[in-house]
C-alpha cells in the first residue's frame, strides 16, 4: 500500500474495491463531473483509497491521474482504512465481496454496491447488518445500469400497490437478441462483441442463461411487493434455446422475442420469472434494442410507467453508483440517516405473498413442434391440446423441406401445468420427432402502452 496525501477534510472520503469496468467508470466519472457533483452535494467527493486485484502499470497510471493517494491489492485495506467513510464495492462475484461488504458495515462504513448477485443472494444477511450498524447499503447500480429504477420503485411509486413489472434487464442478452434478429449475426460473434464493450458478466453464461436477469428481478420483486429476496424461487430460463427460425416465425405472427423478467402479483401469490417472451411488435418494450434496458411498472394508482436507458457499460453503471454516493453524502451533510430496513420496500417483510412455482402460472404460448410430414398430424396435435383445455389462436405450417415440417402454434391463455401435460403427450406421438420449443407470450392485455 502506498500512502501520500489525505483528502481535504471536508470532502466526502470514498474507497473503491475493484477497478474493473464499473470501478474504473466510477473513478473517472467522479473526476470528470467533479464540479457538477460538488455543486449538487455542496462538498467534493474524494477517492482516498482504491483496491484492485492487479495493480499493473495501466491502473497505477490511472490512479495517479485521478489523484488517488492510497492504493492496494487488498480490499480489506480499504474497508479497514479509518479515513474512508463510504466503501464502493465493484469487485462483483460472491467472495471476497460478501466478506468485504460485511466488514465494511461492521466497521460502521456506508456501502454502495453494484453487485446484484450479492444483493439478490446474500442481501437477507447484509441488510440486517447495515441496520444494526446504522449505515446505508445502497445498490441502485445493481439493477438496469444507469436507470434509476430502485429509486422509482421505492420512492417515486411509494403511494402505489405494485401490480406487476416486466423488463428487459440484461443488456448483453438484449444486445444478442437484437443483433440476431436484425443481422442474423451468429450468437458467438455478438457475445464476443458484448464482452469487448464491457457489457457481459465475467462469466457470460450468467447473461445468456438469465441468472443475471433473475438477480435483478429478485431485487425489484422484493422492493415492489415487500417480500424477502428469494432468488432461489425465481424461475430462470435463458436465451440459448432461441433459434433464428423462432425469430422469423414470431416476426411472421407480428411478434418479436425479448428476454423478459416478469414479477406479477396474482390472487395465488407472486409470479417471478425470467424467460424468452413473445411480445407484440407494437409494444414499447419490443422496440428497446441493443444494450438498452427498460422496465414497465404497473401501479394501482398511476397505471403503467416505463423506465428505459442503458442497462450496462462503464459510464451508465457509474452514473448510478455516484448517485448513491451523492445520496449518502447529502444525508451525512444534513446529519440525518435514513435507516435501512431489511424489508427493502416495506417497513416489515410480508410473509403472506408466496412466490409461485412456474407450473402454477397461466400464460399464452408459442409452440414450435417438429412434426413429420404425415397426413393427420395437425389433427392429432389439436385434439391433444383440446383435451387439456388449451385453445389455439393461430397456426403456421410451411411446405415440407425435409421430412420434418415444423408446426408453429399460438395458444390462448392456458394453465402451464396443463400445457406441460399436453407437450409431453404431443412429444410422445410417433408423428413428432424431437422436443417442442415453448416460448411464453406476454400480451399485457389492456394493461400497458
Ligand atoms: N452483464 C450485465 C448486463 C451488466 O449485460 O446487463 C449490467 O448488470
pLDDT tens for each residue of 262-278:
999 999 999 999 999 99
What is the predicted pLDDT for the residue at 316?
95
Q: Using most ligand atoms within 8 A of CB, pick from 146, 169, 171 the residue to mutate for ligand 1.
A: 171
- CATH 3.30.70.260 maps onto the chain at 362-441
What sign for the dihedral angle of Cα 199, 205, 208, 210? negative
Does the pLDDT at position 298 exceed 50?
yes
Taking the CA of residue 204 as reference, the ligand 1 atom at the shortest distance is 1
Closest CA relative to residue 310, chosen from 199, 436, 421, 196: 199
Q: Pinpoint the alpha helices (H) of 186-307.
A: 187-196, 205-208, 211-225, 244-252
313 within ligand 1 shell (Cβ under 6 A): no
Q: How many whole angstroms separate alpha carbon 398 and alpha carbon 252? A: 12
Confidence of residue 208 (pLDDT cuts 50, 70, 90): very high
Segment of 181-185, 348-352, 388-392 carrying the highest mean pLDDT: 388-392
What is the predicted pLDDT for the residue at 7?
41
Confidence of residue 187 (pLDDT cuts 50, 70, 90): confident
> Cell triple for residue 325?
454516493
Q: Using most ligand atoms within 8 A of CB, pick from 173, 260, 311, 313 the residue to mutate for ligand 1.
A: 311
Mean pLDDT score of the chain: 92
What is the predicted pLDDT for the residue at 448?
59
174 within ligand 1 shell (Cβ under 6 A): no
DSSP conformation letters of 283-335? STGGG--TTEEEEEEEETTTEEEEEEEE-SSHHHHHHHHHHHHHHHHHHHHHT
Q: Using most ligand atoms within 8 A of CB, pick from 176, 212, 318 the residue to mutate for ligand 1.
A: 212
Output b/e per residue, 397-410; b: 16+ Cβ within 10 A.
eeeeeeeebbbbbb
Ligand 1 centroid from CA 200, angstroms: 6
25 within ligand 1 shell (Cβ under 6 A): no
- Architecture of domain 12-138 in this structure: 3-Layer(aba) Sandwich (3.40)
Task: List all residues 6 or more positions away from 20 whose beta carbon is below 8 Å from its beta carbon.
Answer: 90, 91, 92
What's the whole-model pTM score? 0.94
What is the predicted pLDDT for the residue at 1?
40
Q: Which of 216, 374, 380, 398 is catalytic?
A: 216
- Architecture of domain 149-309 in this structure: 2-Layer Sandwich (3.30)
Taking the CA of residue 206 as reference, the ligand 1 atom at the shortest distance is 1
186, 245 Cβ separation under 8 angstroms: no
Three-class secondary structure of residue 379 per DSSP: helix
Output b/e per residue, 199-229; b: 16+ Cβ within 10 A.
bbbeebebbbbbbbbbbbbbbbbbbbbbbbb
Does the pLDDT at position 370 exceed 90?
yes
311 within ligand 1 shell (Cβ under 6 A): yes
Ligand 1 centroid from CA 199, angstroms: 5
- CATH 3.40.50.720 maps onto the chain at 12-138
Ligand 1 centroid from CA 113, angstroms: 14
Alpha carbon distances (Å) from 444 to 184, 285, 398, 441: 28, 11, 29, 9
What is the predicted pLDDT for the residue at 344?
74
Ligand 1 centroid from CA 393, angstroms: 35
What is the predicted pLDDT for the residue at 5?
38
What is the predicted pLDDT for the residue at 4?
39
Our answer to whether residue 109 is catalytic in this structure is no
- Architecture of domain 362-441 in this structure: 2-Layer Sandwich (3.30)
Query: Checking phi first, is residue 161 left (phi over 0); if not, alpha (psi -120 to 50) or beta?
Result: beta
Q: How many whole angstroms separate alpha carbon 180 and alpha carbon 178? A: 6
What is the predicted pLDDT for the residue at 355?
97
- CATH 3.30.360.10 maps onto the chain at 149-309
Alpha carbon distances (Å) from 391 to 280, 383, 420: 19, 10, 14
145 within ligand 1 shell (Cβ under 6 A): yes
436, 426 Cβ separation under 8 angstroms: yes
Q: Pinpoint the alpha helices (H) of 80-233.
A: 97-106, 116-132, 149-151, 171-183, 187-196, 205-208, 211-225
Q: How many whole angstroms separate alpha carbon 166 and alpha carbon 211? A: 16
Confidence of residue 446 (pLDDT cuts 50, 70, 90): low
Residues paired with 351 in a beta bridge? none
Q: Which helix (H) or strand (E) holds 41?
A: helix 34-41
Based on its alpha-carbon atoms, the radius of gyration of the chain, rounded to whole angstroms, reads 24
Amino acid at each position: 500500500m502506498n500512502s501520500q496525501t489525505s483528502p481535504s477534510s471536508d470532502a466526502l472520503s470514498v474507497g473503491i474495491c475493484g477497478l474493473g469496468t464499473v470501478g474504473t467508470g466510477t473513478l473517472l466519472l467522479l473526476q470528470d463531473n467533479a464540479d457538477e457533483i460538488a455543486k449538487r452535494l455542496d462538498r467534493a467527493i474524494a477517492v482516498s483509497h482504491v483496491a484492485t486485484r492487479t495493480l499493473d502499470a495501466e491502473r497505477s497510471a490511472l490512479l495517479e491521474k485521478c489523484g488517488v493517494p492510497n492504493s492496494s491489492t487488498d480490499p480489506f485495506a480499504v474497508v479497514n482504512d479509518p479515513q474512508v467513510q463510504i466503501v464502493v464495492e465493484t469487485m462483483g462475484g460472491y467472495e471476497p465481496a460478501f466478506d468485504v461488504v460485511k466488514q465494511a458495515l461492521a466497521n460502521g462504513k456506508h456501502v454502495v454496491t453494484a453487485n446484484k448477485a450479492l444483493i439478490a443472494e446474500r442481501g437477507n444477511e447484509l441488510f440486517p447488518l447495515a441496520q444494526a450498524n446504522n449505515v446505508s447499503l445502497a445498490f441502485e447500480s445493481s439493477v438496469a445500469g444507469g436507470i434509476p429504477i430502485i429509486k422509482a420503485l421505492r420512492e417515486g411509486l411509494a403511494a402505489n400497490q405494485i401490480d406487476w413489472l416486466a423488463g428487459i434487464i440484461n443488456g448483453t442478452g438484449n444486445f444478442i437478441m437484437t443483433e440476431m434478429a436484425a443481422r442474423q449475426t451468429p450468437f458467438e460473434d455478438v457475445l464476443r462483441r458484448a464482452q469487448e464493450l464491457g457489457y457481459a458478466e465475467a462469466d457470460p453464461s450468467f447473461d445468456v442463461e438469465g441468472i443475471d436477469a433473475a438477480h435483478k428481478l429478485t431485487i425489484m420483486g422484493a422492493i415492489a411487493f415487500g417480500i424477502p429476496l428469494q432468488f432461489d424461487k425465481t424461475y430462470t430460463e435463458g436465451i440459448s434455446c432461441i433459434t433464428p427460425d423462432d425469430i422469423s416465425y414470431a416476426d411472421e405472427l407480428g411478434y418479436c422475442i425479448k428476454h423478459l423478467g416478469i414479477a406479477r402479483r396474482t390472487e395465488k401469490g407472486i409470479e417471478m420469472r425470467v424467460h424468452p417472451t413473445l411480445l407484440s411488435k407494437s409494444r414499447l418494450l419490443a422496440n428497446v434494442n441493443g444494450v438498452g434496458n427498460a422496465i414497465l411498472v404497473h401501479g394501482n394508482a398511476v397505471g403503467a410507467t416505463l423506465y428505459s436507458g442503458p442497462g450496462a457499460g462503464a459510464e451508465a453503471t457509474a452514473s448510478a453508483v455516484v448517485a448513491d454516493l451523492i445520496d449518502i453524502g447529502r444525508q451525512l451533510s444534513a446529519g440525518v440517516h435514513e435507516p435501512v430496513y431489511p424489508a427493502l420496500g416495506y417497513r416489515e417483510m410480508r410473509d403472506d405473498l408466496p412466490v409461485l412455482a412456474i407450473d402454477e402460472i397461466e400464460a399464452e404460448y408459442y409452440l414450435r413442434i417438429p412434426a413429420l410430414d404425415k397426413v393427420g398430424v395437425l389433427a392429432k396435435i389439436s385434439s391433444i391440446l383440446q383435451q387439456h383445455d388449451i385453445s389455439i389462436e393461430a397456426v403456421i405450417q410451411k411446405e415440407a423441406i425435409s421430412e420434418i415440417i415444423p408446426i408453429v402454434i399460438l395458444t390462448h391463455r392456458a394453465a402451464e401445468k396443463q400445457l406441460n401435460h399436453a407437450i409431453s403427450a404431443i412429444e410422445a406421438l410417433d408423428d413428432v420427432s424431437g422436443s417442442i420449443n415453448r416460448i411464453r407470450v406476454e400480451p399485457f392485455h389492456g394493461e400497458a402502452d
